[in-house]
Amino acid sequence: DKNRNTFKGLRFEQFQSKMEQDDYYVNQFEKYLSKAGLELNLSKNKSVVNRYISAEFARQLYGESQYYQIVLKEDKMIKAVLK
């Protein structure tokens, strides 16, 4: 919530681009986990973690449809059906 203004006025496409290019929120999440006593190395899964963080931000900023648009983007079953 502290950084909500960072996304103010961005179209959904701009938001997606910003989130895909920046590891800031993944790094912040890793620090949060560390402070909570969970030492996890997220480097191998940064793209997955970033996708779910982005999806949750999208849900809060743009709605459910955009959440699923991000989450399902890499879903293997959805990709198979769309072939």
Burial of 52 (0-12, 13-18, 19+ CB in 10 A): middle
pLDDT band per the 50, 70, 90 thresholds, residue 1:
low
What one-letter code names the amino acid at 43? S
Residue 2 clears pLDDT 80, i.e. is over it: no
d(CA 39, CA 28) in angstroms, rounded, equals 13
| Exposure on the CB side of residue 32, measured as CA atoms within 13 A | 6
Over residues 16-50, the pLDDT tens digits come to 999 999 899 999 999 999 999 998 889 899 999 99
Distances, alpha carbon 68 to alpha carbons 5, 13, 37, 72, in Å: 23, 14, 30, 6
Q: What is the mean pLDDT of residues 63-83?
A: 89
